[in-house]
Amino acid sequence: MSELDILFYILSSMSVLFGALVVLTSSPIYSSLYLVMSMLSVAGIFMTLNAPFIAGIQIIVYAGAVLVLFVMVLMLFDLKRETKAFTKGRFSGFLKLVGAGLLCGFIAGAAYESVSLIMATSEEIPTNIAAAAETGFSPTTNSIKEISKLLFTKYLFAFEVLGLLLLVVPIGAVALSRVAGGTHAKH
Amino acid sequence: MGSDVFEISVNFVKMVAIFLLMVNLVPMLVWVERRGSAFIQNRFGPNRVGPLGLIQLAADAIKFLFKEEFIPPKGNKALFLIAPIIALIPGAIAFGSIPLSVPIEISAFEMFGSQWGPYVFPFQSFEIGIGIVFVLGVSSLGAYSMLLAGFGSANKYSLYGALRASAQMISYELAMGLAIVGILIVYGTFDFAEMIAAQQGPLSIPLFEADHVVNKILGILPNWGVFYQPVGFILLFVSVFAETNRLPFDLPEAESELVAGYHTEYGGIKMNMFYIGEYGHMMVASALIAVFYFGGYSLGTTLDTILVEGTIVPNMSALFASLLNLFGSGWEQSTNLINVVRAFVFHGIFMAKILLFLWIFVWVRWTLPRFRYDQLMDLGWKTMLPWALANTIITAFLMLFLR
């Protein structure tokens, strides 16, 4: 076991632990702070997987921007009524059942999918790397240039559609704030 | 960290030394801030304890350490205690990943009866391939310390300060990021050392041929990024003031409205740690400005050639070797010693640039009045963001046509 393996086990157990704490704590502030820790551990895993650029983007976008906004907004809320509403009642019970079912499904699916990977012998694994090389991506070379080439040639459509999706979100937020009852309503 | 004992121990010492360099600059900066503010406002400043008031720093540090610890009883104790620690981390990690000088090349040598192979030691705590992305990511985590301090204190003024701080940091990060995109397009790299290498030589604008009259006249200037990205430089320079929460953008701690903002409830060494974090951010920002726009650790080609090929560095290393011989024998002039001394000379140049920008931070703080909050947001979103976008687009088109 090399030091990279040890680092991987530490970081992955950290991310799983903090991910569990996100859903297990009842205070939303603590939840979002645990989510930050989980994101940072995932960034560390990217770093051990020889993808420092993805790790940096993970830190900038998720830990540095999105979750700062989460924490900031959550501080302004007084969530006593909502906490009460979501601990009892038929609707929240239904949501909990759906959530638990989805989680079990995801875990079962992930376990089923990874059986072949765990059982694979060492001769079979290099074929995966060869398959990855066919997409034109090689992690050993200058990864930023490779990623940007792929983004602006092969995956251009998906990239632009995702950008459009993100543009829809602020427009929708502005539109919602202007309807009756919103924070910037005219009447 | 390294392949053998020597490399690992040198890397470890380097890591600790650069952290200590950052932390130990803080009291000096506090002194500069107090004396500088007094100089600007025509006062004396601290001048009683020691020469020029320099021992005042030690007195302040001792006072900070021995102050009574106070935790607000209705606050959130865990978050209140963890916030000052988080304040210290981003600045320290980001400063460690910036190369502070040329890498030191050590050829094979003999010590303690065994052969030690050739090494290359970069002059930074740790090398990370993505340079600027890492620095931006880590320093954007600084917002958490203010948020947690404001929330954990259970104080309305603290909460207001924390909200202002995070809103301001997120708003100005956009302009800062776009200003840096301009410089990334010009150099085509994320790596600090490559950026500095691209700024060597005399200034020559690609619009004209290399021996054109304009380029001959401009050739007396160094090939620094500020001549290619003047708008980007101004944008980055303004937005780092907002990112470090310094005046004219120190709305988070505006003492006339919010007592002391997010650190109202803090005292003693905990408040001091917020200060160290703030000064760490300032050092990172100054280092970034120096690397992007002012040639990093180089002084322009002519002076660099004098340092690399002239007799100054060998003479200095000979002097250094003879000084070492006073304590023990066996030291002599060698290429390794010359390389080490040269790296430290370039490090001195870089630190001089960083200190110059730190002085400008102090100067601006005690010269300009504070913005109002809506003015701050207008400046960030309605003025700086469009200028930064225009700068990025024009730079991209120019680079496309000039290639």
Domain count for chain B, please give it.
1
In a domain, A13, yes or no: yes
What confidence score (pLDDT) does residue B122 get?
A: 82
**Which pLDDT score is estimated for A104?**
93
The residues of B whose Cβ lies within 8 A of any Cβ of A are 128-130, 133-134, 136-138, 140-141, 143-144, 147-148, 150-151, 159, 162-163, 166-167, 169-170, 173, 190
Give B86-137 as a DSSP string. HHHHHHHHHHHTS--SPPEEE--EEETTEEE--EEE-SSS---TTTHHHHHH
Q: Among partner residues A29, A60, A144, which is closest to B137 by beta-carbon distance? A: A60
Confidence of residue A123 (pLDDT cuts 50, 70, 90): low
> How many domains does the structure of chain A reveal?
2
pLDDT at B390: 93
Residue B346 carries which side chain, given as an amino acid letter?
F
| pLDDT exceeds 90 at position A168 | yes
β-bridge pairing B109-111 and B104-106: unpaired
pLDDT at A1 over 70: no
d(CA B73, CA B88): 24
Supply the pTM of this predicted model. Answer: 0.82
A156 inside 8 A of chain B by CB = no
Does the beta carbon of A60 lie under 8 angstroms from any beta carbon of chain B? yes
CA distance B379 to A57: 27
Say whether A29 and B151 touch across the interface (CB within 8 A).
yes
Contacts of A36 in chain B (CB under 8 A): 144
DSSP at B53: G
Q: What is the pLDDT of residue B301?
A: 65
What is the chain A residue with the closest CA to B132? A56
Q: Within a 10 A sphere around the Cβ of A11, how many other Cβ atoms?
A: 19
Question: At which residue do the structure tokens 């400046």 appear?
Answer: B379
- Output the average pLDDT for chain A: 80
| Neighboring chain B residues of A71 at a CB cutoff of 8 Å | 144, 147, 151, 166
Residue A187 lies in a domain: yes
Q: What is the pLDDT of residue A13?
A: 92
- Chain A positions touching B128 (Cβ under 8 A) are 52
CB contacts, 8 Å: B129 with chain A: 52-53
Q: What is the dihedral of CA B45, B51, B57, B63, to 10 degrees?
A: -90
A65 lies in some domain = yes
| From A53, A58, A68, residue closest to B144, measured CB to CB | A68
Q: CB of B137 within 8 A of CB of A59?
A: yes
Surface-to-core class of residue B209, CB atoms within 10 Å of its CB (0-12 exposed, 13-18 middle, 19+ buried): exposed
Separation in Å, CA B395 to CA A136, A172, B32, B188: 29, 32, 38, 12
Query: Does the residue A110 lie in any domain?
Result: no
> CA A71, CA A63: separation in Å to the nearest integer?
11
Domain that holds residue B293: 5-402
> Would an 8 Å CB–CB cutoff place A64 in contact with chain B?
yes
| Residue at a domain's end among A60, A77, A94 | A77
Q: Are B85 and B273 in contact (CB under 8 A)?
A: yes
Going by C-alpha positions, the residue among B270, B266, B279, B347 that lies closest to residue B307 is B347
Q: Tell me how close the Cα of B265 comes to any Cα of chain A, in angstroms.
A: 18
Is B388 within 8 Å of B179 (Cβ atoms)? yes
Q: Does A68 touch chain B (CB under 8 A)?
A: yes
The answer to whether residue A159 sits within a structural domain is: yes
Q: Shortest Cα distance from B132 to chain A (angstroms)?
A: 9
pLDDT of residue B386: 92
What pLDDT is attached to residue A134? 55
Mean pLDDT of A12-26: 88
Q: How far is B143 from A29, CA to CA, in rounded Å?
A: 15
Nearest residue, CB atoms, A75 vs list B128, B130, B151: B151
Pairing, β B109-111 against β B119-121 = unpaired
CB contact set of B149 (below 8 Å; sequence gap of 6+): B79, B80, B83, B84, B87, B158, B162, B262, B263, B266, B274
Burial class from Cβ neighbours inside 10 Å (0-12, 13-18, 19+) for residue B376 reads buried
Cα A9 to its chain centre, rounded Å, is 19
Let me know: does B176 contact B132? Beta carbons within 8 Å. no
From residue B402, alpha-carbon distances to A147, B66, B205, B281 in Å are 24, 62, 10, 36
Which residues of chain B fall short of a pLDDT of 50? none
Q: What is the pLDDT of residue B167?
A: 83
Q: Of B115, B173, B112, nearest to B140 (Cα)?
A: B173
- Indicate the pLDDT class of residue A106, thresholds 50, 70 and 90: very high
- Mutation target for A interface from B77, B89, B127, B141: give the one with most A CBs within 10 A: B141
Burial A107-129 (b: 16+ CB within 10 A, else e): eeeeeeeeeeeeeeeeeeeeeee
The 3-state DSSP class for residue B85 equals helix
In this structure, what token pair is assigned to residue A121? 């012998």
**For residue A55, is it within any domain?**
yes
Which tokens belong to B266?
Answer: 């803090």
Q: In terms of C-beta density within 10 A (0-12 exposed, 13-18 middle, 19 or more buried), how is residue A158 classed?
A: exposed
Picking from B86, B83, B88, the residue whose alpha carbon sits closest to that of residue B149 is: B83
- Burial call B137-161: b when 16+ CB within 10 Å, e when fewer: bbbbbbbbbbbbbbbbbbbebbbbb
Whether A59 has its CB under 8 Å from any CB of chain B: the answer is yes
The answer to whether the CB atoms of A68 and B147 lie below 8 A apart is yes
> Of A23, A42, A77, at which residue does a domain stop?
A77
**Residues B197-223: tens digit of each pLDDT:** 888 777 777 666 666 777 777 777 777
Residue closest to B153 by CA, chosen among B274, B30, B276:
B274
Q: Is the pLDDT of residue A105 over 90?
A: yes
Residue B387 is predicted with a pLDDT of 92
The pair of three-digit structure tokens given for residue B272, joined into one six-digit string: 């001091």
Residue B331 pLDDT:
63
ipTM exceeding the 0.90 mark? no
A71 and A35 in contact (C-beta within 8 Å)? no
Mutation for B interface: A42, A75, A140, most B CBs within 10 A: A75
Report which of B188, B349, B165 is spatially closest to residue B262, judged by C-alpha positions: B165
Chain B contact for A76 (CB, 8 A cutoff): yes
Domain that includes residue A169, residue range: 155-187
